[in-house]
A and B are shown apart, each in its own frame.
Chain A
Amino acid sequence: NAGVTQTPKFQVLKTGQSMTLQCAQDMNHNSMYWYRQDPGMGLRLIYYSASEGTTDKGEVPNGYNVSRLNKREFSLRLESAAPSQTSVYFCASSERNTEAFFGQGTRLTVV
């Protein structure tokens, strides 16, 4: 069972560069999420998509864009990376009002 798959697992960017984090789930879930985890901050929601074709801002959306390409895929884009975006990023999916399943994470460093 693949569950939630994120790519890449590691990435180093220079300030100002752009990149897209990819996420795919094979559980036929309607909801998908992007979180970031920082030391001492827990997990914070960046964006979520409650269904195909819809996206909404979470707690910390600034500097990010998302695309819900289809029911399976939800990507996160950094248009102009900043050192403050150095973090571990997790994608997750769930059925409505049930627990979320998380990917293994992407460790991003912006220098």
Chain B
Amino acid sequence: DQQVKQNSPSLSVQEGRISILNCDYTNSMFDYFLWYKKYPAEGPTFLISISSIKDKNEDGRFTVFLNKSAKHLSLHIVPSQPGDSAVYFCAATESYNTDKLIFGTGTRLQVFP
């Protein structure tokens, strides 16, 4: 049973527009969430995180929103750039224990000119 779900396998966005990547989770004990970005033939790199005591966290062009009641988080990228084209994974864990991250299946974002 997939505890972290990314239901959109792919997303295509025009350069300069907003990209919204979604992630749903089923375990109400999850309290720490992370987004990773992965380019082909490279390992994932950390992008941004949010703890359950917040509902929003921003870092430059990247903002993560958390809706605990809906068990949903989203990553907003504004404005989108061609270099943002990558696979994005969300991950979640309980008790802030990053030894046991549960990853979603990923969303492939393509930003076109």
Of A42, A43, A90, A99, the residue contacting B98 (CB under 8 A) is A99
B59 at the interface (CB under 8 A from A): no
Q: Which residue of B lies closest to A48 (CB)?
A: B99
A64 at the interface (CB under 8 A from B): no
Of B41, B96, B101, the residue contacting A100 (CB under 8 A) is B101
Of B45, B100, B106, the residue contacting A42 (CB under 8 A) is B106
The count of chain A contact residues (Cβ–Cβ below 8 Å) is: 28
A99 to B105, CA, bound (A): 18
Q: Mark A86-111, 1 if CB is under 8 A from B, else 0.
A: 00001010101111111111000000
A77 at the interface (CB under 8 A from B): no
Q: A90 — which chain B residues lie within 8 A by C-beta?
A: 43-44
Q: Mark B14-57, 1 if CB is under 8 A from A, else 0.
A: 00000000000000000010101000011111100100000000
A58 to B102, CA, bound (A): 10
Q: B45 — which chain A residues lie within 8 A by C-beta?
A: 101-102
| With known contacts A42-B89, A99-B49, A92–B43 Cβ distance under 8 A | yes
B103:A44 contact, CB within 8 angstroms? yes
The tally of CB-CB contacts under 8 A between chains A and B is 58
A96 to B6, CA, bound (A): 26
Q: Which residue of A lies closest to B34 (CB)?
A: A99
Q: Which residue of B lies closest to A59 (CB)?
A: B102
A40 at the interface (CB under 8 A from B): yes
A49 to B98, CA, bound (A): 12
B98:A98 contact, CB within 8 angstroms? yes
B105:A94 contact, CB within 8 angstroms? no
- B38–chain A nearest beta-carbon distance, Å: 8
A45 at the interface (CB under 8 A from B): yes
